[in-house]
Structures are given as C-alpha cells and as structure tokens.
Amino acid sequence: MASTSRPSSALSSRSSPPLPKRSKKSKAHHQNINKADQISDIVGTGLNKPTDEFDLMGKSIAIKLRRLPREIRLYSEKLIND
C-alpha cells in the first residue's frame, strides 16, 4: 500500500493569507468605554427605584388628563402648574 503523505510545500501553498494587523486602541477610546459604562449604571439605577404613592398619583392624573377635551385639559394643566 502506498503512502499518501503530501510534501510540506503543498501544505504551505494552501494556507490562508495573513490577517491584517489590528490597530492599538487609544487611551481615549478606553476612557469613552468607561464613561459609557458609568452612564449605563446611572440610568439602570434610576430605573430600579421603587414606585411610591406620588408616582402612582402622577400616573392617575395623567390618565385623567388624557381623557379630557383639549381646552379643559390645557386649563387643568395650567391650574396644576400655577
């Protein structure tokens, strides 16, 4: 039985082309990522705050204002804000 080994030169001709060199990330790039992480943490913390009676009252008033005709709604909003 004959050996089917390939010469080493045949293997090297089939290798893929070298990958392009990756550029080094700048220090500013890493600082931007850190700032984005900090902002994400702040936003996430604000979203996890518990709902209290004032949040519920505000939502209730918003629902009622949406049902009012436009003129009455505007007048009601003015009374609330003044």
> What does each C-alpha distance from 53 to 22, 48, 57 come to in angstroms?
54, 16, 6
**Mean pLDDT over all residues of the chain?**
76
Q: Which pLDDT does position 8 carry in this prediction?
A: 52
Q: Which pLDDT does position 78 carry in this prediction?
A: 93
State the Cα–Cα distance between residues 59 and 57, nearest whole angstrom: 5
> Rounded to two decimals, what is the model's pTM?
0.39
Q: Which pLDDT does position 57 carry in this prediction?
A: 92
Q: Which pLDDT does position 4 carry in this prediction?
A: 56
Q: Binning pLDDT at 50, 70 and 90, where does residue 23 land? A: low
Q: Binning pLDDT at 50, 70 and 90, where does residue 62 land? A: very high
